[in-house]
A and B are shown apart, each in its own frame.
Chain A
């Protein structure tokens, strides 16, 4: 670690903002070194500042998202959304934060206070851990692990147990129901998530997320980016992955565990004040993490979509894609009704899992057939024919039925 910060290196043009995310960490390391403190302290301080940067950026994004979600849903529903606090309601997250922090913290008398206290913490911590392995820019992965994808799924698996803890510790019927539904939903949709990601691992040959993004550089035919979404298996696996994202994040149309009209707030019913805010934050941070992973695996991470746009910093592309994906999730939330539990399970086990299992031999076939036109030609029938069979058989049995209702006097 030299005394001169990297951001002053002469090889990088001054208008290239690639160094911006690294700035806090580098500044702190430089300050600690300048003060003559030992090397390991500089490293630890740098890592702490990098962690705080990630958490700070995404906590701010969470606050912004809570406002944008309410405004978007409102506009779709032909109303205005929050517009009282600040111009266009921009200070609404601040008001929400103050409300959450100053509410009385009610713990039911029969609840087991330790698990009740631990559950919100154990929902936020995996989300923050997962946010640490995603490559946000060309040179900015907070923790570049060789097994980054496996780490992501491992910490995601912890969320299920903490939702159960939340439901169990509040000794009450609605949280228990919500917890059971949440566990069954998350377990069912973990499989398509992992199977879809497995195709990417197979083709890229590595579980390291920065490496997976780096392999999606380049352009086919001059203008189509070589993202994994634009491959036959990647298209199917990407769609499956993003559907499973919505289910894993407990968002509409898969928000049975917190169905407001059915079981009050599911596993979060007996929580108030800051603990509820932690649940909320954990859910949204988890959404950011898992959409970030989807973007890394299928949408090329920080790669630019067109050849000439390399001057825009890579982290800008990542956050632009993240905004687009989150907007699509909000759009889906505003449009679709909630699915029933049996429809949810049937969709996961009978539709998503077979389809995602098919992407694995499709990816292998595509890779060995040369990754080009012949790859597409061989793989499309393998994917299209089962999909057609599945949709035709499902349509026969599960198509919306026409029902005729007669009035009583006719």
Chain B
């Protein structure tokens, strides 16, 4: 109990920072912190493989990608966003609040929710690997195709525009 609640609270606080901070880089780094804390939570819950993969992929790749994109799309001084259009913040809150409230109500009043884990689920790496190549093999192949398409597409999109020879 003492371990999980502070981590959850910190995850929510850093996500709040990611949503609320004005400067884009600060928001992106808060998001990275939130994802890193989620990885720590996974490790504490016993999903060691997932925790490390979350850290490596989200914090090590996605967050780096996002900050790199922020670097490449700078135009000088970033303008503060919160004070710019207060109307859209209220609108966003008004849209998100019912969704979150529904989910929270479902979480509190769920009928058959287990109260505490009866036993430690055991994850072994060899089982994970075997499942990936037997039961989940079609999914792995689809994800491989998707990742190849993403690689080619992103490289194509982000290429320097080819200069026309017509001058």
B82 within 8 A of A: no
| Count, chain A residues at interface, CB 8 A | 26
Residues of A within 8 A of B59 (CB): 157-158, 161
User: Could you tell me which residues of chain A, from 114 to 164, have a CB within 8 Å of some CB in chain B?
Assistant: 115, 146-147, 150-151, 153-158, 160-161, 164
Residues of A near B126 (CB, < 8 A) are 205
Question: Is A45 an interface position by the 8 A CB rule?
Answer: no
CB distance from B162 to the nearest CB of A (A): 16
Q: Is the CB–CB distance between B56 and A150 below 8 Å?
A: yes
With an 8 A cutoff between CB atoms, is A332 at the interface? no
Q: Most B CB atoms within 10 A — which of A115, A157, A206?
A: A157
Q: Which of B62-70, B93-101, B112-120, B141-149 contacts A (4 or more CB under 8 A)?
A: B62-70
Instruction: Check: A329 CB closer than 8 A to any chain B CB.
Output: no
Residue from B49, B61, B64 within 8 A of A147 (CB atoms): B49
Within the complex, the shortest CB–CB distance from A127 to chain B, in Å, comes to 15
Give the chain B neighbours of A147 by CB distance below 8 A. 48-49, 52, 125
Interface string of A194-219 (1 = CB under 8 A from B): 00000000000111000000000000
- Distance A179 CA – B74 CA, assembled complex (angstroms): 15
- Distance (whole angstroms) from the CB of A350 to the closest CB of chain B: 12
Q: Count of chain B residues with Cβ under 8 Å from any Cβ of A?
A: 21
CB contact under 8 A between A164 and B60, given known A157-B55, A205-B126: no
Q: Which of B100-152 contact A (CB under 8 A)?
A: 125-126
A contacts with B: majority SS: helix
A190 to B48, CA, bound (A): 21
Which A residue's beta carbon lies closest to that of B23? A112
Between A and B, how many residue pairs show CB distances below 8 Å?
Answer: 61
Beta-carbon contact of B56 and A146 below 8 Å: no
The residue from B53, B55, B60 contacting A160, defined by CB atoms under 8 A apart:
B60
B15 within 8 A of A: no
B29 contacts A115, C-beta separation under 8 Å: yes
Answer whether A161 and B52 are a contact pair too, CB < 8 Å, given A146-B125, A180-B71. no
A33–B60 Cα distance when bound, in Å, is 42
B32 on interface, CB distance cutoff 8 Å: yes
Complex CA gap A179/B61 in Å reads 15
Complex contact B52–A158 (CB within 8 A): no
B67: which A residues are within 8 A, CB to CB?
Answer: 161, 164, 168, 183
Known A161-B32, A165-B29, A168-B25; contact A183-B64, beta-carbon cutoff 8 A? yes
Interchain CA distance A305-B36 in the complex, whole Å: 41
Q: Which residue of A lies closest to B70 (CB)?
A: A168
Nearest CB in chain A to that of B32: its residue: A161
- List the B residue with the shortest CB-CB distance to A112: B26
Look across to chain B and name the residue whose beta carbon is closest to the beta carbon of A180: B71
| Chain B residues within an 8 Å CB radius of A155 | 55
Instruction: Name the residue in B52, B55, B68 with the highest tally of chain A Cβ atoms < 10 Å from its Cβ.
Output: B52
17 A–B contact pairs at CB < 8 A? A146-B125, A147-B48, A147-B52, A150-B49, A150-B52, A150-B53, A151-B52, A154-B39, A154-B52, A154-B53, A156-B60, A157-B56, A157-B60, A161-B29, A161-B59, A165-B29, A168-B71
Among all A-B residue pairs, the 5 with the closest Cβ atoms:
A157-B60, A154-B56, A154-B55, A154-B52, A150-B52
